[in-house]
Chains A and B, each alone.
Chain A
Amino acid sequence: METLHYLSLGFGVALQPENLLFALMGCFIGTLIGALPGLGPANGVAILIPLAFTLGLKPETALIMLTAVYAGAMYGGRISSILLNIPGDEPAMMTCLDGYPMARQGKAAEALAISAIASFMGSLIATIGLILLAPLLARFALTFGPAEYFALFVLAFATLGGITGKNPMKTLMAAAIGLIIATVGIDLSTGTQRYTFGVLELYEGVDFIIAIVGLFAVSELLFFIEEKAGAGREMIKVNPLKLKWRDITSIFPTTLRGGVLGFIAGVLPGAGASLGSFISYTLEKKILGKKGYFGEGDPRGVAAPESGNNGASSGALVPMLTLGVPGSGTTAVLLAMLVSLNITPGPLMFTQNADLVWGVIAALLVGNFMLLLLNIPLVGVFVKILSVPPMYLLPIVTMVAVVGIYSISHSTFDLYFMIAFGVAGYILRKLEIPLVPVILGLLLGPEMEKNLRHAMQISDGDWSILWSSGLSIGLWLVAIIGLLLPVVVGPILRRRMQAAKEKVG
């Protein structure tokens, strides 16, 4: 009952005309961002953060817009999967398997429509899951002390590489690099200057928004230049839509299963959207077995991964909102937004910023309907923009990133910093060191250190407090498993995903 009360409060926030407008804008931009190959959701949200800032939006409006972008990006990812056979982002990879064959059979419009409906169902199911689960988890998280939080942060880093991650040592290294950058600046509790080298601009530390935009946007530009992918690829033409009601009802059970599985994958640390779409596709193939023609353009093969990855992306908001610990790159970027709006993420947010949290959740529901309405009739517009070759698009995107950073502080120093981060991001990606842990380290570094200090003050310098309660031992165990599991299971899973892809391609 309490939840319903809060939810109606949330709708009150989300349905304000201004918020509705920004949600609609976010949905549109998000779909675009998701559709453009290479411009992943994390990247897109990162570029928009400085803009949301300079617009002077209210916290809830800014967050609603960015959440809409996030949701939209998951919708958009499918467009390039289906029409170009290039996934817009990693989770959309599985959609290529049946989406592209469908498009080649002249059923591109149907594939797009089915995937939009599946995305809608997946998000809807997962958002309902979020509404039910998040308050419970938040209440539980209130019992966490500083030691538990410290362990939780370690867990977040350990599982961030995900089960499909390659080398856990590199994930760990990336996290350490991020945390190290976060220590630059004046120490908050003692006032000691750390690693500032007397440079005034470093006193307040490294602004993570600059780091994020540099790491994602600028390094992306460099990658495109290297791959000489400027000209873009040939695209399949979209036919007029002929969708019967029966086509929709036939994928209904698939989307239901996909949404639930995706949600679970999203909530669990380290699983994420890629795994969500992979599991729902594989399960669907197992269940339907010979009745389907998977890999040759089965509509259910489009519906399953799409509902799975949208479910997972909403599910991933659960740990981010309740614990302040994001489970994916994009939720990490959303967290960055919260932190820079001076909102402390975590369980207290549900009581202290109830209107904001519930406003965002309600906006997720509203945004979903918008996305469905936007995606079926407007798919042609997105396809048009998608056909703009990257050689024009990427420079413009980079320019928008530059303007965004510049407009925060009107300082060119920040721009040099952003470029430096871009080059660093390029090198790290070349070495297959993941960027998301770096960002998470930058974000969580101060919180993590604060909790370590609190724990130590309580125990008077006894380190064993960090693993003295049952809960914290449990968290440490999961962290260790999260670090070791990819070594064992990762290669198998990756091989299977690759094999599935090759069989079709």
Chain B
Amino acid sequence: MSKFNDRVFGLVMLVIAVAYYYGATQFPVPFGGSEAVGPETFPKLLAVILAICSLYMIVKPDPDNHWPASRTFVELGIAVVTLIVYALLLEPLGFIVSTTLAVGTLCWRMGARPIKAYLTGLISGVVVFVLFTYGLELPLPLGLLEMN
């Protein structure tokens, strides 16, 4: 079994630890002069701990968990993109429309039949919208469905 993951992650974290430490040295001296424990002390301490852990991971990595096959990887990518697009369109399209699309797409990609999937999206969107807007009096954006 390869031990690649831990090594790479350890390396990334080590770089972050160094950058984080450097960042802490760049803080302006607070008003009233420096104290025994200033704003930079705690971050410096943390950077050292993180660096030690990273080095440990590089030197003594655990065996890898296998990463998903490339097709599953694409599916994961689709899910993440769906969520990002959902956030992006939430206000312009309104809650119900964007939820239908987002939940529908997720259900569909997880194995549901498209019609059932988008129907689930629509129903859940309407139910949550009604619940929030009328039940809890927390208006969600209507977007496209807004009547002027």
Contact = CB atoms under 8 A, between A and B. Distances in A.
B56 A399 contact: no
Interface stretch (A125-133, A216-224, A290-298): A216-224
B36 A460 contact: yes
B128 A187 contact: no
Among A169, A172, A221, A399, the most chain B Cβ lie within 10 Å of the Cβ of: A399
Contact of B31 (A169, A191, A427, A456): A191
A41 B8 CA distance: 32
Contact of A190 (B39, B49, B67, B109): B39
Contact of A399 (B36, B49, B54, B102): B102
A499 interface: no
B68 A395 contact: no
B132 A176 contact: no
Nearest to B68: A226
A452 interface: yes
Interface residues of B, number: 63
A167 interface: yes
Interface string A386-401: 0001111011101110
Contacts of B46: 176, 179-180, 183
A423 interface: yes
B112 A419 contact: no
Contacts of A460: 36
B107 A419 contact: no
A412 B68 CA distance: 30
A177 interface: yes
A342 interface: no
Nearest to A231: B111
Interface stretch (A254-262, A315-323, A402-410): A402-410
Interface residues of A, number: 62
A194 B23 CA distance: 8
Contacts of B67: 430
A104 interface: no
A94 B28 CA distance: 55
A72 B31 CA distance: 51
Nearest to B6: A431
B110 A431 contact: no
A54 B138 contact: yes
Given A191-B30, A192-B27, A225-B75, A453 B140 contact: no
A167 B63 CA distance: 12
Given A394-B106, A430-B65, A407 B132 contact: yes
B112 A431 contact: no
B97 interface: no
> What are the 3 A-B residue pairs with the smallest beta carbon separation, nearest first?
A461-B36, A395-B106, A173-B53
18 contacts: A54-B136, A166-B62, A169-B53, A169-B56, A173-B50, A173-B57, A177-B50, A191-B30, A192-B27, A192-B38, A194-B23, A230-B111, A390-B110, A395-B102, A395-B110, A402-B83, A406-B90, A449-B42
Interface of A: 54-55, 166-167, 169-170, 172-173, 176-177, 179-180, 183, 187, 189-192, 194-195, 218, 221-222, 224-226, 228, 230-231, 389-392, 394-396, 398-400, 402-403, 406-407, 412, 415-416, 419, 422-423, 426-427, 430-432, 448-449, 452-453, 456-457, 460-461
